[in-house]
Structure 1
Amino acid sequence: MGNEVPQLTQRTDGTKDNQYESDDTEHGYCHFTRGDIKQIKRYTEEILQHERSTIQVKSDGTVIITPHPRQLPNEILARIIHHIDETTQPAYILFGSRHPDQQRDLHACTLVNRQFYALANPLLWQELEFHDTIHLQRLLDGLAASEQSLGNHVRKIQLNNVACTDAQLLLLMTHVRHLETLSLENVNFTNDFPPITNTSLQHLPRYCSQLTSLKLFNIGLSDATIRAIGQHCRRLCQLTLCGYLSDDGLATLASCPLQRLQLFHEDIENMLTEKMVMDMIRFQDLTHLDLSLFEPSSLIMTISNNKITTGVPWPHLKYLSLDLCYDIDDATLICFIKTHPHLQEIRLKEARALTDASLAAMAVSLCDLRRCIFEMMNGISSRGARQWIQNCQRLKRVQFRQCRQIKATDILETLDDDNSDYLCLDEHDIAKIRSG
């Protein structure tokens, strides 16, 4: 109908009956007389069913029907917008971030009408990612000028020091008090891009106490910052730290319901102490444990094995990744996996003392094992690996990296053995091995 208003207009031309005309271009021209009351009623009902309309009768007898744009039910609009927001993302998009095309589509939805705006705008603000300080400063200026508290919609932010300074981070956190996921990284250390430091980070937990996931890369946490996280972030389930952490750091996080813990250094090895492991054991809800460049890795298993009499540490553990495992032997690993039967993914690097006995124990004890990465495990053989694959019924993906005794054609004849230092078996390869 556009913006035209269909009207039933009364005319008198000297005849006995009053006459009515309709200029509704969609329903066609209609001419009624007073004797056509039923037809007028049917026409009116048709208009009302087609559009949400109002009827006005003027003093001179003119009847005006004004249609209003029919609103779709919010449930239908929500499905449309949800489809846009949940579109499959390319593999190169990290941290589950929304693809730029999705952001543009959501922005387009906000321009349709008020109903679309009300549903799409909060989603548009949910995830923010910046690549330079200019765009971040524009956001800060907009948040400061906004009367609608748009920052309350923000749930996820990804930043680095190229896009954010300490001063900007301090200002940003005051506007995003419902933030749930934050990823910060120092990627450049120059005079133009100074690093993000504890100057701002120590205030983050107080303003953003609803955090459930915190990832910090190349940022060393001070004692004051880690204490503030433990004090204020009582919903923190996922913590990733790449940088310095003091020996007492994990103890201050005892009140956080951590489920995923990832600690690593990129360039230097770090000592894993008995106190750090004992503090990790307090996180009984832990499902993912990832330690890189921490030694001795055996402490994770030996201390856990010694605690079995008082209750199994990490009874829900599904993912385990350890570097520098050269001090872990078969007996230690076998004892550990027997008490952690829910393991689905294992990554072990430099476990030089492990043999086929460990693989055989995995096949027996870990019925839900799905994925494994073994790197520089020189004690396992091709024959042992093949038998292990045949016996692990739920295994879907395996990688052998620089494992000296592993030869691709000994595991599956159809495999190419040109690159013996790296062997990746997918679900299709594993099915062939089981049927062979």
Structure 2
Amino acid sequence: MKDYAEELLQHERSTIQVKPDGTVIITPHPQQLPNEILARIIHYVLEPEPGTYRPDSRRVCEQLDLCTCTLVNKQFYAVAYPLLWREPVLKFNLTQLQRMIDYLATKESPMEHYVRKLDLDNITCNDTELLRLMTHIPHLETLSIANRNDEHFPPMTSRSLQHLPHHCSHLTSLTLSHIHLSKATICAIGQHCHQLTELVFSITTGLQDDFLSALSNCPLQRIRICRTDESILTEKLVMDMTRFQDLTELDLSILEPSGLIMKIANNLQQKNKTAVVPCWPRLKVLKLECCDDIDDATFICFIKTHPHLEFLRLDGANLTNASLDAMAVSLRGLRKVLFNRVNGISAGGVRRWIQNCQGLAFVMFRHCNQIVKRDVLETCKDLPRGSLILKKHDIFKIRHAQETGNVHG
């Protein structure tokens, strides 16, 4: 009887017990969910509610939800635990980080293999603790370090940062904010981080115009430099930028004339007359401030050789409707445009551009003096003169009005 029961229930994960009187007791065990289903459940737990803001980093509430998942059963624990350690949230105080480091250092099966993303600031971390931490997270991929403006907490410095690349050589994304960068730190990044694809410097000091040359071994795809105290946008820096052929995003929010970017790119293109070889053949996102030295000729020449642009933001460029017409021809994949203080374009030019640039999904104009919103679209919300925001449904209305000949203004 026992053999028959075992054969019958061999796939049911049940326990079979035969008592002395011949009674057979079958105790079924709950079957495990497939890990794929379990992963989807946990992914759903981590998803924010519709309409809520989702920051780039995990939030404390999401971390607590993951902790709860690890307590359900062994199977949930096996799936949720690595995710819990993949992106630890440190938002309370230095003590929390110290406990985490102690845990990483003393566990027989260290969790250092799971940690891939960290967001640190000088409230939760200092130079001493960062030096301790970096030796236990060799597989870290994404790191953000910021010094908060709080006099009670000393800033993190290059005393620790210059040793970080040696221990965390697998970094693919590095963001440094409000930090003074020494030459030794920059050189260490270039020497060890040969997988680094994203680099963000925000309100940093110590940068020189040759810092990109020290990073020539990094396969950078995204470069963002915001609000530096030094004047760094020189011919040397731009020429160093052109070495990164895989660049897809260039964002320079610096208070220096940015036209040098396009002018050098155009000059290099003119020198190579045998073939059309753009400086950045994969460039999709371009954001530049202080574009007063960019005119129609410079801009049109640049976009002709960079046809893959999808997101464009320019502040203060001296462009006219001729540039809008050229964008409709050269930038077929353009999706999002933000223009600020571009005073040479008119409402008529905008309507014609929207009609011909079929991929557009979002447009914003701010302080563009010639633009009157109702001359572009009658149903636009009441905005100050020179300001205009168009989303998908607005763009559709403009195209429909032009196709039917019912154009206002």
Q: Please tell me the residue identity of whatever aligns with 1:398.
A: V
Q: Please tell me the residue identity of whatever aligns with 1:399.
A: M
Change (3 A) 1:93 1:186: farther
CA contact (8 A) 2:291 2:315 kept: yes
Change (3 A) 1:56 1:175: farther
State the shift of 1:158 in Å: 0.7
Structure 1: distance between partners of 2:139 and 2:50: 25
Structure 2: distance between partners of 1:410 and 1:75: 53
State the shift of 1:336 in Å: 0.1
CA contact (8 A) 2:58 2:89 kept: no
Q: Please tell me the residue identity of whatever aligns with 2:338.
A: I
Which range moves more in the overlay, 212-221 or 112-121?
112-121
State the shift of 1:418 in Å: 4.1
- Match of residue 406 from structure 1: 371
Q: Please tell me the residue identity of whatever aligns with 1:251.
A: S
Picking from 293, 297, 311, the partner of 1:345 is 311
Q: Identical aligned pairs, as a percentage?
A: 54
Q: Does 1:206 align with 2:166?
A: yes
Q: Please tell me the residue identity of whatever aligns with 2:77.
A: Y
CA contact (8 A) 1:272 1:294 kept: no
TM-score (norm 1): 0.84
Q: Does 1:322 align with 2:284?
A: no
TM-score (norm 2): 0.89
Q: Does 1:160 align with 2:121?
A: yes
Q: Give CA deviations for 1:141-194 in whole Å, capped at 9, x if unaligned.
A: 32233222112211111111122111111111111111110111112241x211
Structure 2: distance between partners of 1:181 and 1:91: 24
Picking from 251, 263, 279, the partner of 2:213 is 251
CA contact (8 A) 1:269 1:293 kept: no
Name the Cα RMSD after superposition.
Answer: 2.3
Aligned length: 393
- Match of residue 301 from structure 2: 335
- Any stretches of 5+ residues in structure 2 without a counterpart? 402-409
Structure 2: distance between partners of 1:102 and 1:161: 23
Structure 2: distance between partners of 1:178 and 1:146: 17
Structure 2: distance between partners of 1:75 and 1:272: 49
State the shift of 1:78 in Å: 3.1
State the shift of 1:74 in Å: 3.0
- Any stretches of 5+ residues in structure 1 without a counterpart? 1-36
Q: Please tell me the residue identity of whatever aligns with 2:372.
A: K
State the shift of 1:135 in Å: 2.0
Change (3 A) 1:91 1:362: farther
- Match of residue 32 from structure 1: none
Q: Give CA deviations for 1:351-409 in whole Å, capped at 9, x if unaligned.
A: 1x211111111011100110000001111111111211111101010110111111101
CA contact (8 A) 1:188 1:194 kept: no
- Match of residue 420 from structure 1: 385
- Match of residue 182 from structure 1: 143
CA contact (8 A) 2:48 2:54 kept: no
Picking from 265, 271, 284, the partner of 2:245 is 284
User: SS of the residue aligned with 1:157?
Assistant: strand
Q: Give CA deviations for 1:171-218 in whole Å, capped at 9, x if unaligned.
A: 11111111110111112241x211111111101101111100001111
- Match of residue 404 from structure 2: none
Structure 1: distance between partners of 2:128 and 2:399: 59
Change (3 A) 1:251 1:140: same
- Match of residue 63 from structure 2: 103
Structure 2: distance between partners of 1:230 and 1:54: 63
CA contact (8 A) 2:6 2:16 kept: no
Q: Please tell me the residue identity of whatever aligns with 1:278.
A: M
State the shift of 1:415 in Å: 1.5
Structure 2: distance between partners of 1:167 and 1:141: 14
User: SS of the residue aligned with 2:133?
Assistant: helix
Change (3 A) 1:175 1:103: same
Q: Please tell me the residue identity of whatever aligns with 1:253.
A: L
Picking from 179, 200, 213, the partner of 1:219 is 179
Structure 2: distance between partners of 1:316 and 1:391: 23
Picking from 363, 366, 378, the partner of 2:328 is 363
State the shift of 1:81 in Å: 2.9
CA contact (8 A) 2:238 2:261 kept: yes
Change (3 A) 1:63 1:52: closer
Structure 1: distance between partners of 2:22 and 2:377: 90
Q: Please tell me the residue identity of whatever aligns with 1:223.
A: K
Matches within 5 A, 1:42-191: 47-54=9-16, 67-86=28-47, 91-95=52-56, 97-131=57-91, 132-190=93-151
User: SS of the residue aligned with 1:136?
Assistant: helix
